[in-house]
Structure 1
Amino acid sequence: MGDTKSTGEGNSALGKKSFKRSKSHFADRVTADGRDGWPVAAGRYRLVVSRACPWASRAVISRRLLGLEEALPMAVTDPIQDDRSWRFTLDPGGRDPVLGIRYLAEAYEAREPGAPGGVSVPAVVDVASGRLVTNDYQQLTLDLATEWRDLHREGAPDLYPEGLRDEIDEVVEEVYEDVNNGVYRAGFATGQEEYEAAYEGVFRRLELLSGRLAERRYLVGDTITEADIRLFTTLVRFDAVYHGHFKCNRHKLTEDPVLWAYARDLYQTPGFGDTVDFDHIKRHYYQVHEGINPTRIVPLGPDLSGWLTSHGREELGGRPFGDGSPPGPVREGEEVPAAGRP
Structure 2
Amino acid sequence: MESSGTTETSAERGAFTRDTNYIGTRITADGRDGYPVEPGRYRLVAARACPWANRTLIVRRLLGLEDALSLGLCGPTHDERSWTFDLDPGEVDPVLGIHFLRDAYLARFPDYPRGITVPAIVDVPTGQVVTNDYAQMTLDFTTEWTAHHRPGAPELYPDALRDEIDEVNRLVYSEVNNGVYRCGFAGGQAAYEAAYDRLFTALDQLSERLSRRRYLVGDAITEADVRLFTTLVRFDAVYHGHFKCNRQKLAELPVLWAYARDLFQTPGFGDTVDFAQIKTHYYVVHSGINPTGIVPKGPDLSGWHTPHGREALGGRPFGDGTPPGPPPAPELVPGG
Query: TM class, shorter-chain normalised?
Result: over 0.9
**1:215 shift after superposition:** 1.6
CA contact (8 A) 2:5 2:115 kept: no
Aligned pairs, number: 335
Aligned mates of 1:314, 1:26 — CA distance in 2? 40
Map 1:59-98 to 2 at 5 A.
59-98=56-95
**1:84 shift after superposition:** 2.0
Asked whether 1:280 is paired with 2:277, we answer: yes
Asked whether 1:270 is paired with 2:270, we answer: no
CA contact (8 A) 1:24 1:135 kept: no
Match of 2:227 in 1: 230
Match of 2:322 in 1: 325
Select which of 4, 9, 14 maps to 1:13: 9
Asked whether 1:109 is paired with 2:111, we answer: no
CA contact (8 A) 2:264 2:304 kept: yes
Asked whether 1:52 is paired with 2:49, we answer: yes
**1:83 shift after superposition:** 3.3
What amino acid is the match of 1:14? S
Question: Which 10-residue stretch deviates more, 213-222 or 75-84?
Answer: 75-84
Asked whether 1:175 is paired with 2:163, we answer: no
* 1:55-98 Cα distance to aligned partner (Å, 9 max, x none): 00000000000000010000010101123220011101110000
Match of 1:244 in 2: 241
What amino acid is the match of 1:228? D
Asked whether 1:161 is paired with 2:158, we answer: yes
What amino acid is the match of 2:62? L
* 1:256-289 Cα distance to aligned partner (Å, 9 max, x none): 1100000000000000000000000000000000
Question: Which 10-residue stretch deviates more, 24-33 or 86-95?
Answer: 24-33
SS at match of 1:39: coil
TM-score (normalizing by structure 2): 0.98
Asked whether 1:205 is paired with 2:202, we answer: yes
SS at match of 1:13: strand
What amino acid is the match of 1:3? S
SS at match of 2:202: helix
Name stretches of at least 5 consecutive residues in structure 2 with no aligned partner.
none
Aligned mates of 2:179, 2:32 — CA distance in 1? 34
Match of 1:40 in 2: 37
**1:24 shift after superposition:** 3.3
Distance 1:303 1:253, change over 3 A: same
* 1:233-278 Cα distance to aligned partner (Å, 9 max, x none): 0000000000000000000000011000000000000000000000
**1:114 shift after superposition:** 2.0
Map 1:131-150 to 2 at 5 A.
131-150=128-147
SS at match of 1:20: strand
Name stretches of at least 5 consecutive residues in structure 1 with no aligned partner.
none
Match of 1:260 in 2: 257
TM-score (normalizing by structure 1): 0.96
SS at match of 1:101: coil
SS at match of 1:75: strand
SS at match of 1:333: helix
Aligned mates of 2:8, 2:141 — CA distance in 1? 25
CA contact (8 A) 1:25 1:116 kept: no
**1:5 shift after superposition:** 5.5
Aligned mates of 1:141, 1:14 — CA distance in 2? 28
Aligned mates of 2:9, 2:253 — CA distance in 1? 32
Once superposed, what is the RMSD of the aligned Cα atoms?
1.0
Aligned mates of 1:58, 1:291 — CA distance in 2? 26
* 1:172-223 Cα distance to aligned partner (Å, 9 max, x none): 0000000000100110000111111111111000000000000210000000
SS at match of 2:61: helix
SS at match of 2:183: helix
Match of 1:291 in 2: 288
CA contact (8 A) 1:24 1:137 kept: no
SS at match of 1:133: strand
CA contact (8 A) 1:32 1:40 kept: yes
CA contact (8 A) 1:235 1:253 kept: yes
